[in-house]
Structure 1
Amino acid sequence: MPTAVALEDATVAFRLGEARVYTAVEKANLAVGAGEFVAIVGPTGCGKSTLLNVAAGLLKPASGSVRIFDRPLPGLNREAGYLFQADALFPWKTALDNVAIGLEIAGLPRGEALARANDWLASVGLAHFGNRYPHMLSGGQRKRVGLAQVLIRDPKILLMDEPFGPLDAQTRQVMGNLLLDLWNRDRKAVLFVTHDLEEAIALADRVVIMSAGPSARIIGDWQVTLPRPRDIFETRLNKDFHALHREIWSVLKGEVMKGYVQSAEAEAG
């Protein structure tokens, strides 16, 4: 299997004033195969989103390397689509125009872009919502538009940063099943950041755990052997799901507690 994303000893540091340097992530090694779904879980502030931004080419590591399909990443990752936690929709554009805009910017004639956008809205269950503006849509519907907006450009890699975080539990499950259905069609490489260990196991082929920061490291990497195709709700009833959850949580729990202690100390002074 070719490697879609490879981080090799990637260290990310930020300068805080003239004399201080904050190391967010230290010597991260991670390989995501083409067609592989990998979830990253860890305490708040451990650098999960930082790793995603490195893979996107938005951050350059202080040391180490980033390779995309076995080639060094010189700048922005043109092979990737990025779905953020916050909505990235233009409020003055309809759902249809929001989905079509990426193709229009790329030079596709507007008529063809709109036709393809219509097809993608139908694929995410919004065939009759194309003329609605973002403020007229529910949170789950806006996430569907955002997903179509990213996937219409057919990226080879999908980067997802807590994309379902703001949604209620039921809508998260619906969106998870939609994501799996769309992913099963062409099996893009996915790097999915979440705080929710259950969500990570239910969706992914592998679950990667990060330590509490600063100088966060990747401290665990588990294969998820649950059968596909999966239904999120049914998968969570599987005894193997619970066994894997207990195994990963036994490692993750200590890091989560460290993260809470560090956050409390930072707030105190």
Structure 2
Amino acid sequence: MTAGVTEGALGAKADAAHAAVRLDGVTIEFTLPEGRVFRAVASSDLVVGPREFAAIIGPTGCGKSTLLNAAAGLLRPASGRVTVLGAPLAGINRQAGYLFQQDALMPWKTALENVAIGLEVAGTARAEARKKARDWLARVGLAAFSERYPHMLSGGQRKRVALAQVLIRDPKIILMDEPFGPLDAQTRLIMGDLLLNLWSQDRKAVMFVTHDLEEAIALADRVVVMSAGPSARIIGDFAIPLERPRDISEIKLERAFQTLHRDIWHMLKKEVLKAYSDQQSEEAAQ
């Protein structure tokens, strides 16, 4: 079982007409203090299907999070277009839930209150919002921790609260930026399995940014590879034809997984080394 790789117009397998997220020629630039324009991401095309789990990997600083922020409507492309569920994106992507690397829990609110607040601000009655919040806390394994404040929870528990906080609003698209990055290796495995279990229940579209190639392969239907920056671009798109449901710790032992890892790393390694070399050169010039 081998990976499928395409270059150029990526994501051809997804139905572009019914895509959850579609990027057409998206270029992202920033104006630096001295007035120079920095091109973070060069013209990039990507299609994510409505039930597809797509992971995006690449070297540090290549623009993975920048591309995700464009899909979230937090950044406006210098050129190109972002389309969400068939409509051009203008402003914040209201169809998406965003799980950041650092949780956004309010320290003065309990776990229950943190999960319920998304519904409350949208107009749901407090009693109903809290009833749904209790259900979601149970679904992420925190039924007994609803009255605890964030400082009373472990890193993994806070991440579970943050996940419930996003999913309770039932977004059609889930954007995840290194969500398990701060966690230890064992907790990352547990959180990965939890995410897959929750995702498998309704299979929303997911764009998942990570530096961890093993994590990307274990979770995703596709792994999209970005080149080193600046002017980073999408250079590879690998299908992940591993059977579901998946147990992350077990699937890593399969030969098909190891073959996928070898093939993707062969492409990714060149970009990681290039990014490292460029960083060394920049440091030497300072």
1:236 alignment partner AA: K
User: Which 10-residue stretch deviates more, 49-58 or 14-23?
Assistant: 14-23
Supply the distance in 2 between the matched residues of 1:66 and 1:165 (Cα, whole angstroms). 27
2:219 matched residue in structure 1: 203
1:90 alignment partner AA: M
Supply the distance in 1 between the matched residues of 2:34 and 2:214 (Cα, whole angstroms). 42
C-alpha deviation, 1:88, in angstroms: 0.6
String of CA shifts for 1:196-224, please: whole Å, max 9, x gaps. 00000000000000000000000000000
Structure 2 residue 258 is matched with structure 1 residue 233? no
Supply the distance in 1 between the matched residues of 2:78 and 2:38 (Cα, whole angstroms). 11
1:210 alignment partner AA: M
Structure 2 residue 31 is matched with structure 1 residue 15? yes
2:72 matched residue in structure 1: 56
1:147 matched residue in structure 2: 163
2:81 alignment partner AA: S
Structure 2 residue 132 is matched with structure 1 residue 82? no
1:103 matched residue in structure 2: 119
1:253 matched residue in structure 2: 269
Please give the secondary structure, in 1, of the residue aligned with 2:193: helix
1:72 matched residue in structure 2: 88
Supply the distance in 1 between the matched residues of 2:111 and 2:283 (Cα, whole angstroms). 40
Unaligned runs of 5+ in 1: none
Please give the secondary structure, in 2, of the residue aligned with 1:128: helix
Structure 2 residue 136 is matched with structure 1 residue 117? no
Supply the distance in 1 between the matched residues of 2:281 and 2:184 (Cα, whole angstroms). 30
Supply the distance in 2 between the matched residues of 1:234 and 1:28 (Cα, whole angstroms). 34
TM-score (norm: length of structure 2): 0.93
Supply the distance in 2 between the matched residues of 1:12 and 1:61 (Cα, whole angstroms). 5
Size of the aligned set, in residue pairs, is: 269
Please give the root-mean-square deviation of Cα atoms over the aligned residues, in Å.
0.8
C-alpha deviation, 1:177, in angstroms: 0.2
C-alpha deviation, 1:18, in angstroms: 4.9
1:131 matched residue in structure 2: 147
Supply the distance in 2 between the matched residues of 1:266 and 1:30 (Cα, whole angstroms). 31
Identity of aligned residues (%): 68
1:166 matched residue in structure 2: 182
Structure 2 residue 190 is matched with structure 1 residue 177? no
String of CA shifts for 1:166-185, please: whole Å, max 9, x gaps. 10111000000000000000
1:117 alignment partner AA: A
The 4+ residue runs of structure 1 with deviation greater than 6 A are none
1:44 matched residue in structure 2: 60
